[in-house]
Structure 1
Amino acid sequence: MDTSWQNNPKLADMDKSKLEMLQNLAEQGTGKNASDMLPFLMSAATQGKNSGLRFSSEEISTVLEVLKMGKSPQEAAKLDRIVSLMRMIR
């Protein structure tokens, strides 16, 4: 799995434990289809909260920005839709 995203300068100030959690999430989410992604991400968010990891709004925006780099407009739009759905469910 490509971990180069972790070296993005925009993530330089993020706590290493948060980056590790994101890497584990990326590994577990590999190969999931769009219909499985929302429940998977909701479960991951709950696990993160239970373990005491809290992401600020700025950190979330930065992670999403990094995730969209190099993606097609369709893939970026799909990510935006998933995030919007997660916000509506909360």
Structure 2
Amino acid sequence: MNHPNHDQQLSRLRKIEGQVGGIQKMILERRYCIDILNQLRALQGAIQQVEKNILEDHLNDCVQQAITQSDPVAAQLKIQEIVQLFEK
């Protein structure tokens, strides 16, 4: 199976790394708690966006491929993978 290219998500993750570093610096500098919390909320949003994009790629590529190949077992396995992921 051919997996989607996630280069755009790698770019987003590099930005997230920078955000984490910035938050660490804020904590070391004993910055105002609300300012730190605002940055943490932004970080969570950025991570959720990467998660959403990768899930969307998975649905549009991997799952769709299993369905269009008329392989009901493979399609069911892909659906089960997603369900199990969100049960965690």
TM range (shorter): 0.3 to 0.5
Larger Rg: 2
TM-score normalised over the length of structure 2: 0.35
TM-score normalised over the length of structure 1: 0.35
Higher helix share: 2
